[in-house]
Structure 1
Amino acid sequence: MRITHVSDTYLPLLGGIEAQVSRLAAQQVAAGHDVEVITTTPAAPGAHGVSTAVEDGVVVHRVAARVPGGWPVHPRSTAHVTARLRAAIARGERPDVVHLHMGVLAPTVQAALRPVTRLGLPAVLTVHSVWGGASRLFAAADAVARWSRWPVRWSAVSELTAAPLRRLVRTDVAILPNGLDLDAWRVPRTERADRPEGSAVHVVAAARFAPRKRMLPLLAAVASAVRALPDGALFVTLAGDGPERAAARRFVAEHGLGDVVSLPGRLTATELKRLYARADVFAAPSSDEAFGIAALEAQAAGLTVIAHSRSGVAERVVDGATGLLVPDDAALTAALVRLATEPGLLDGLLAAATTPPSGMDWPEVLKTTHAAYTEAATLPSR
């Protein structure tokens, strides 16, 4: 199968969309498909122009412009996408499907969708982000362009992201979850008595230190929990980097949390696995988490999860059975205290966490994605 992915953001940027699209493309190549990615993300900061290279077996076509702030946008990206697809058709290499990946700000994908369908190419569009207030803008655009009526197989990475799309298109929206090599993330558990952090309940998080990820509110909840707990009951590691990391370091110093909180910076996958081997709980405090690939990695490693009850992570958690769901920061603090003071609760959650969520391993994700491609090919052109 010839598959063309279109995504404004791609590696070397790091985020949910970038990770999923690159991994999905690589998995499809490994399965024997002919895969191309078209993106407006430059290969390196400051790079610009049109380039094509093979990266991890995937043909990556980049249309990069010099834009203030380094945003991955290009004023003529739609023309480039259309021209490349037309050229492929002329060579006899017509894509069997064009898979477009959309966040909130995705000008290339949004503008290229209609030209793709007008070329008669099967199209799948996947929403990867929580739209929030942007839903009203998309509804207004639909009132003008009627994009919800175009022949597209609509999809999203979670029910959270599917809900606003479903209200607009008024038809079925497929769930195409992010994929993960679950076996690669299974790690042998180090019991608390043998850990360098001591016998404390070890809570971890791995996220960008940015407002949407809510790492600073998580730190505030940790500080409140520590005040309610005996010394040595809780240890917290917050891995990641970003614009709020300096503020996090100041918070730890100002609140005397140096012996309780570790901020090691961004960790590699191997370093995260080593961290998860000696941890108990993964915290995902953001309600704007569309899917939560980092939480899935932790779940695959055998950790239980505290997640915001309105997040995409919550869809993989049974409250009180496989993790804890919290509606706000006060409940997050209470959950941390419970996990550190109710050993029966934590032991039960960890026992249930030995079975990772279903449907997220790559063979299953590839099968689900291929089904969406097949359905896209049956849609009438219009």
Structure 2
Amino acid sequence: MDPRLLTDPVVRDREALLEFVDALDDHAPLIERDVARLKRVPNDPAAIAEIFRAVHNIKGDAALSKVELAVAIAHPIETTLGRLRAGEFVFSELLAEAILLAVDRLELAATTLANGKSLDPLRLPALVGGLERLALAEPGATDAEASALIEAVTGFRASAATPNLGSDAAAPFATARVAGTDDLRFFRELALRFESRSPLFKGRTSRLLRLSRETNQAAGQPIDQGQLEAAVYLHDVGMMFLPESAWLKVGHLSAGELKDLRAHPEIGAGLLTRMQGWDGAAEIVAQHHEKPDGSGYPRGLSGGICAGARLLAIVDAFEAVMLKHIHRGRNRSVLRAIAEVNACEKQFAPEWIAPFNQVIRRAIEG
């Protein structure tokens, strides 16, 4: 295989590529759903057959759409699933994590290619090499190969005990100290009210707060803790003033829904500016969806984005990726979420990626 296929592929038919991206959006959630079924009932032949069929269809769609890099990724996944279906491989958590990581990376690769951006951060040669070794592994070596693949692609060591960030008190980021000021207590109550709007949000406030605090500490605490805490509580509270269809919808948003959604940072910031002493938090909330390349919202800033907003952007994106996966398969995967954030690192401030990874690494690797 020509290595350039994975690093600098040629788009032969843009319309067909976009159709493939749409088809992949349909297949990927079904794969995640059925892998979740396998975790409940390992080696369930019906679930394995459904996953195999979905990956086979992805490979076929990719071939028809002339998206060669997708064929290169899907083929060894299909081979691995074929061996699982034949009873040569035994299902395991690590095997599941490797397959889902590969599907995640396939989605990112197709979208990145469609957007004309660089594929380098996705580590596709490492992914395909790892998938090919996994597909050819001896039956007793699948966990070792899956673990090696995950580490090669994410940079994090994996094990069967890799934590999933749940909402229970035992989860790595599930508890957080509540600061003592009346304002912060009020802000926290608003955040918890927002959290209560969906069962999928359970524990979200505490996870975001602890991640933000620990990342700030890992960076030498350049952001005032109180202002950061207030921003964490109120950064999405503006959503409550918008139609639920704009922020609870799974899948693509309409132009109108997207416009509504992009108003929420300034709504939350407006609440803070009306209260004395929270200007720093207001700035963080107003800017937390801005991006260094100017593609963010609501103002499309490329410079002048405050440190707190740059930090919160990463933490919020990490939680959003986990929410996406729990929508699909009822499973929060720390490894897959951090892998996706790092694959999109150019959307975030580079000075915050390293301390954020440091915090996540402590949770994953101990």
- For normalisation by structure 1, the TM-score amounts to 0.29
Which structure has the larger Rg? 1
- For normalisation by structure 2, the TM-score amounts to 0.29
Indicate the structure with greater strand content: 1
